[in-house]
Amino acid sequence: MKAAADGDFIAAVAEHFVNRRGRGTMLSPADLACLADWERAGVGAAAAIRGIDEAFRRGGEIRSLHQCRWAVEEERRRSQAGARSPGDDRLGEKSLDEKLAALEAALEDAARDAADARAKAAIHDAAAAARKLAEGAETGNAVKVQNELDEIENELFTEIRKTLTADEAAGLERDARAQLRGRDLEAEAARRTVRAITTRKLRERFRLPSFTI
């Protein structure tokens, strides 16, 4: 889904991030998986770079691309909104409290729709955790909030995976690995990328919202 004008998305964004970070030239497997996920989602290189710059401007010490997710997602939304109708997308103007409230509401909707009782309970617990986070005293710190949301999301998907049969889990991984054909990734990066793809599939299956604010 990479635009031709973007050139090599992964190389361009990785180089920019390494330059902004100012130390080391190697990206972690988690960072490589993050880049691959952005590329598949259709994030343009320019939007990703703007998001990284914004994360460094507002987020203090940035060590990984994972810490830039919230800002890159905002830039992606702005880019897509601009392509549809300039000024229509107001998500980027919402406060953190408003975004957390919207996340909680979306999770409660997903919990009501979930047929599996264990999945329903796990999604409801994630909604409660988002509500508790919104009641915290440091919601002005976007990086801290995003890190806590990442933990909530990881716990949710750990529980969701437990609801799958062995055949379902194997099928998801097989389909994910098929998407990596032709891409030269180290073993750990490939494993993390497969994990990201299967997580996206589960998000679609259970109608779960993005936890990126």
> Look-up: residue for tokens 């004008």?
5
Question: What gap in Å lies between CA 111 and CA 124, rounded to an integer?
Answer: 6
- Provide DSSP, 30-72: HHHHHHHHHHHTT--HHHHHHHHHHHHHHSSS--SGGGGHHHH
Greatest mean pLDDT among 22-26, 38-42, 188-192: 38-42
Number of Cβ within 10 Å of residue 168's Cβ equals: 13
pLDDT at position 5, please?
A: 37
Distance CA 165, CA 170 (A): 9
C-alpha 154/C-alpha 159 separation (Å) is 9
113-132 per-position pLDDT tens digit: 999 999 999 999 999 999 99
In the chain, what are the domain boundaries?
4-84, 95-205
Residue 105: CA atoms inside 13 Å, Cβ hemisphere, count? 6
Comparing 189 with 49, the larger pLDDT belongs to: 49
Neighbour count for residue 22 (Cβ, 10 Å): 8
Spatial contact of 146 and 130, defined as CB atoms under 8 Å apart? no
Q: What does the alpha-carbon distance between residue 151 and residue 112 come to, in Å, rounded to a whole number?
A: 22
Is the separation of the CB atoms in 82 and 46 below 8 Å? no
pLDDT at 2 (0 to 100): 37
For residues 134-157, average pLDDT:
79
Contact at 8 Å (CB) between 3 and 44? yes
Closest CA to 189 of 178, 180, 198: 180
- Residues of the chain with pLDDT > 90, as a percent, come to 30
Supply the pLDDT for residue 201. 86
